[in-house]
A = this chain, B = another copy of it.
Amino acid sequence: MSDTAPKESVPYELRVSPEDAFDASIGLVVDDADEIGRCVGHVPVRPGVCQPMGIVHGGVYAAIAETLASMGTARGVLPEGGVPLGMSNNTSFLRPVSEGAVHGVGIAIHRGRMSWVWDVEMRDDEGRLCATSRVTIAVRDHGPR
């Protein structure tokens, strides 16, 4: 099989301090996360998360969804020896946001042994749906420590 195959077991250790990592750079605040498939967070709108037309960049919605799904999966699988690994992120953009915050709520619609599948809805301050993501997170075994 291909030499590009991901390792079945992966090391899981922190290599970048959270305050230096990407989530901090977009100002993502995780407000809540449980181990059974719910994770909530928000990103305040400011120029650094927008594209030049002054609306939130599409990559920011995808990033919010990716983090909420990954973190939620981690909460569920790390205690059982699993490690989350993002497989795919499908984001649809429904309504531009230019002020306030983007509020994301992720719900796991499938929690399998090999993968979790999440729906993440992102809304503006008025509660209007602005973007929605389906994120698939593979669950792999811990590598040796």
Contact = CB atoms under 8 A, between A and B. Distances in A.
A136 B64 CA distance: 20
A132 B113 contact: no
Given A14-B53, A47-B21, A76-B1, A91 B62 contact: yes
A56 to B, nearest CB: 8
A44 interface: no
A2 B114 CA distance: 11
Interface of A: 1-2, 4-6, 8, 12-18, 20-23, 25-26, 47-54, 57-60, 62-67, 70, 76-77, 80, 85-96, 98, 109-115, 117, 119, 128-129, 132, 134, 136, 138, 140
Contacts of A70: 51, 58
A112 B1 CA distance: 7
A111 B63 contact: no
Nearest to A90: B90
Contact of A15 (B8, B54, B91): B54
